[in-house]
Amino acid sequence: MASHYTIILIFSVSIAATASTLLSDGLKNDLFPEILRDVAVARLYELGKVSDADGYLERTFLSPASIRAGNLIRTWMEDAGLTTWMDGLGNVHGRIQPPNASKKALLLGSHLDTVVDAGMFDGALGIISAISALKVLNVTGRSRNLKHPVEVIAFCDEEGVRFQSTFLGSAAIAGVLPVSTLQIPDKSGLTVQNVLRENLIDTTEENLSQLKYDADSVLGYVEVHIEQGPVLESVGLPLAVVKGIAGQTRIKLTVRGSQGHAGTVPMSMRQDPMVAAAELIVSLESLCKRPQDYISSNGPDGQCNAFSIKSLSGSLVCTVGEISTWPSASNVIPGQVTFTIDIRTIDDIGREAIIYELSNQMDTICDRRSVSCIMERKHDANAVSCDAGLNSQLKSAAYAAIKRMTGEDIGDVPVLMSGAGHDAMAMSHLTKVGSLIRLLS
Ligand SMILES: [Zn+2]
Ligand 1 centroid from CA 3, angstroms = 20
pLDDT of residue 441: 42
Position 329 pLDDT exceeds 50 = yes
pLDDT of residue 319: 96
Ligand 1 centroid from CA 228, angstroms = 8
The per-residue pLDDT of the chain, averaged, comes to: 88
Residues with CB under 5 A from ligand 1 (ion): 122-123
State how far the alpha carbon of 128 is from the alpha carbons of 40, 51, 219, 260, in Å.
6, 17, 21, 57
Ligand 1 centroid from CA 130, angstroms = 15
Position 50 pLDDT exceeds 80 = yes
Ligand 1 centroid from CA 225, angstroms = 7
d(CA 378, CA 256): 19
pLDDT of residue 231: 81
Position 226 pLDDT exceeds 90 = no
Position 27 pLDDT exceeds 50 = no
Higher pLDDT, 378 or 71: 71
**Is there a contact between 394 and 241 (Cβ–Cβ < 8 Å)?**
yes
d(CA 381, CA 114): 21
168-206 pLDDT, tens digit per residue, is 999 999 999 999 999 999 999 999 999 999 999 999 999
423-439 pLDDT, tens digit per residue, is 999 999 999 999 888 76
**Is there a contact between 82 and 134 (Cβ–Cβ < 8 Å)?**
yes
Q: How far, rounded to the nearest angstrom, does the alpha carbon of residue 317 sit from its chain's CA centroid?
A: 16
Q: Residues, the chain, total?
A: 441
Torsion of CA 325, 331, 335, 341, to 10 degrees: 30
Ligand 1 centroid from CA 422, angstroms = 6
pLDDT of residue 26: 44
Residues in Cβ contact with 241 at an 8 Å cutoff, skipping those fewer than 6 apart: 386, 391, 394, 395, 398, 413, 414, 415, 416, 434, 435, 436, 437
Across the strands, what pairs with 416?
Answer: 242
Which domains are assigned to the chain?
Answer: 2-245+384-438 (3.40.630.10), 247-381 (3.30.70.360)
Ligand 1 centroid from CA 169, angstroms = 13
Ligand 1 centroid from CA 256, angstroms = 37
